[in-house]
Amino acid sequence: MLASRSPADVRSRLDFWQALSGAVLALFICVHLLLEGSVVISPKLTNGIAWLLEVTFMAQVAAPCLVLLILFHFWIAARKMPFRAGELGVFVRHSRSLREADTWLWLVQVFTAVVILAGAFFHVYTVMTDLPITVDGSSKRLHDGWLAFYVIFLPCIILHTGIGIYRLAVKFGICSRAGRDRFRKAVWIIMACYLALGTLALARVWFLG
């Protein structure tokens, strides 16, 4: 008979899959936002990219895979989240006493994760049930009331992704303790650039409507 795995082994495996799924999702988000940002250059370019993704069925295949990966990642990460009010209170008190910025960053990830979990399903479902994907269609959605959704959803996505990349770098030794401040600043700058690009893209699509 195979020896049962120890709790430490189980935690280690779950941490690995959480990190791997998070890294894949982060890569997807970075590429996705860049492709979406192409509308700033030219709406025709964005429509062309969307057309290519659809005719090759990359969009149709990626959408359900993305949803499943988000669910998988959240399911693993949820074991560490302070869902109960008492747990959250203890965590906040400990964070204040430690005065460690990284602890607060993790709390931001927890809150943004909940927003992303709900928002991602609405976003994917709405887009994939309204094919073909076009800039005109996106503009119509914004004017139909979706602008407020993306104003909240976009910063949450960027914050969660950026903080996640930083925490992965720390966890796996890519970022040393001595270089954390510098690495953290670099991540914040990149997040600001992505937020600026996303905001410009939203504005561009809005004014096309």
pLDDT beneath 70, residues of the chain: 1-5, 81-101
Q: What is the pLDDT, as a whole number, of residue 95?
A: 60
> Dihedral of CA 9/11/17/20: which sign?
negative
The candidate with the shortest Cα–Cα distance to 74, out of 108, 25, 31, 123, is 25
Three-state secondary structure call for residue 71:
helix
According to the annotation, is 123 in a ligand binding site? yes
Look over the chain and give the mean of its residue pLDDT values, rounded to a whole number: 87
According to the annotation, is 94 in a ligand binding site? no
According to the annotation, is 73 in a ligand binding site? yes
For the chain, state the CA radius of gyration: 19
Give tens-digit pLDDT for 127-155.
999 899 999 999 999 999 999 999 999 99
Domains and CATH numbers, the chain: 40-208 (1.20.1300.10)
